[in-house]
Amino acid sequence: MSLTALRAALLALALALPACVGADDENDSPAEAQPMGGAMMQPEMGGVMPEPAPEPTPGAVTHEVLVDALAVTLRGGVGEVMFEAPEDGLSLTVIVHGEADGWYGVDAWTDPTGLELVTADWVVDEGNERGCFSCPVFATQGAGASTIINPNRPESVVNAGLHTLAVVGFVDNFATDTANVTVIAKRGSAWPEAGVIDLHFYFTGAQDWSAETVPDDPYFAAVIARFNALYGAMGVQVGEMTFRDIDPALRTVSIDPENDTLGALVAESDPSLGHGAHVFFVEEILTGEADYPSIPGVAAGVPNPPYLTGTGASGIVISTKGPLEIPPGQRFLDPPAIGQTLCHEMGHLLGLFHTSEYDEVSHDQFEDTPENDNTYLMHADGTGPTISPAQANAIMANPLVRHPD
């Protein structure tokens, strides 16, 4: 389950306000840029033009941070950033981030050929309430941090040269003065056919799981086996794993807007663990809804912001209460329930939305995911095994999927 509906409501509220409200034009000159490799600022546009990056080893697929948390000055809640995409760029990831209670995203993205990858003011166009379905690159905006990965649909293209972004930021529904922008390139001579993703697990004491006990727990081994089975079909396997205990007070988490503790939980994601996906195990995830008071899993951001930890969008949360209440001798379900939930929420973390919602009228941006077919992993009920080729390409584009030599 994602937080799309909640974030869409917040976005609608933000868009209802004039963009100039709350803007401070007295001190709006761009901050000094510090992107990787050096940069030349464009003060009149607030953009950045990094120098060309060094060439990677032939045949290798690597990742490079082109723009590293650049502080962008916003005027009326909007600012501009430019970056140079390398000749061997396979994917480009753009993260716009800022204050935990802020709303951030890309309002427009133009590539070197003049192609509008994200069309200006897409958020006000009919049919784009859940994201920019009309854009060549599917785009969303979100709370605390927002991430767009190109390519994320078949019509997406990655062209080398100077790209221009228009980014937006609101705090408390008023235009804010700054936003941070990070751009990551996946580089290589050919599209990768396989990869690994490192997983960082956090334990709250739910069901007595801990960093010490899970490495030898047979059910936890089955959880990882389920992930490798489903994602292995598209060439992705679990890489390195780390295990960490955190405050037991976080063992019950709420996504109820009146008592939201999800952000505080995933903000525990630790940058010292390195790049990877951050997975939190809790006893229960409460919704505040009478019809479904608790859920098996939730993604704090779709996708999670790669390489960015400590934000309210940096992680996924898995409930252990249901499956682990089954007597131990009967826990090995086919598939293990927690493993299936992990696979579904990892799809969100890597950038996939529900192929179809329970309303049977809301669907994702891919044409090869049949509507209302729950044999697909990313259907709203999350019980199927199937990942489509277009979904697999979107996952492989994510910089969290690395490609060892």
Strand locations in 188-309, DSSP E?
195-203, 236-245, 252-254, 277-282, 284-286, 294-295, 297-299
Half-sphere exposure of 237 (CA within 13 A, CB side): 8
**What value does the CA radius of gyration of the chain take, rounded to a whole number of Å?**
21
**Structure confidence by residue, pLDDT tens digits, 280-298:** 999 999 999 888 888 899 9
240 within domain boundaries: yes
- Whether residues 30 and 164 share a domain: the answer is yes
pLDDT at position 294: 86
Q: Residues 358, 380: contact at Cβ < 8 Å? A: yes
402 within domain boundaries: no
- Adjacent-strand bridge partners of 242: 200
- Whether residues 106 and 203 share a domain: the answer is no
- Whether residues 93 and 230 share a domain: the answer is no
Q: Where are the alpha helices (DSSP H) in 260-400?
A: 262-266, 337-350, 389-397
61 within domain boundaries: yes
- pTM passes above 0.85: no
At which of 132, 158, 187 does a domain end? 187
The single residue listed with the structure tokens 């996924």 is: 316
Please state, for a pLDDT cut of 70, what percent of the chain lies above it. 82
pLDDT at position 18: 29
Q: Residues 370, 362: contact at Cβ < 8 Å? A: no
- Whether residues 119 and 138 share a domain: the answer is yes
The residue segments making up the domain with residue 199 are 195-397
**The domain that contains 333 carries what CATH number?**
3.40.390.10
Neighbours of 123 (CB within 10 A): 20
- Whether residues 104 and 202 share a domain: the answer is no
405 within domain boundaries: no
At which of 170, 187, 204 does a domain end? 187
179 within domain boundaries: yes
- Whether residues 167 and 286 share a domain: the answer is no
d(CA 239, CA 302): 21
- Whether residues 361 and 223 share a domain: the answer is yes
Per-residue b/e over 308-333, b at no fewer than 16 CB within 10 Å? bbebbbbbbbbbbbebbeeeeeebee
Q: CB neighbours of 367 closer than 8 A, spacing ≥ 6? A: 154, 390
403 within domain boundaries: no
152 within domain boundaries: yes
Q: What are the backbone dihedrals phi and psi of residue 239, each rounded to the nearest 5 degrees, phi first?
A: -95, -120
pLDDT at position 15: 32
404 within domain boundaries: no
- Whether residues 85 and 207 share a domain: the answer is no
Neighbours of 348 (CB within 10 A): 25
At which of 187, 206, 221 does a domain end? 187
pLDDT at 53 over 80: no
pLDDT at position 326: 53
**Structure confidence by residue, pLDDT tens digits, 245-260:** 999 999 999 999 999 9
Confidence of residue 336 (pLDDT cuts 50, 70, 90): confident
Tally of domains within the chain: 2
- Whether residues 239 and 165 share a domain: the answer is no
- Whether residues 162 and 223 share a domain: the answer is no
**Structure confidence by residue, pLDDT tens digits, 126-147:** 988 889 999 999 999 999 999 9
- Whether residues 150 and 69 share a domain: the answer is yes
As a whole number, the mean pLDDT across the chain is 85
Mean pLDDT of all residues in 3-9: 40
Q: Residues 137, 109: contact at Cβ < 8 Å? A: yes
pLDDT at position 322: 61
**The domain that contains 8 carries what CATH number?**
2.60.120.1300
Confidence of residue 155 (pLDDT cuts 50, 70, 90): confident
- Whether residues 273 and 360 share a domain: the answer is yes
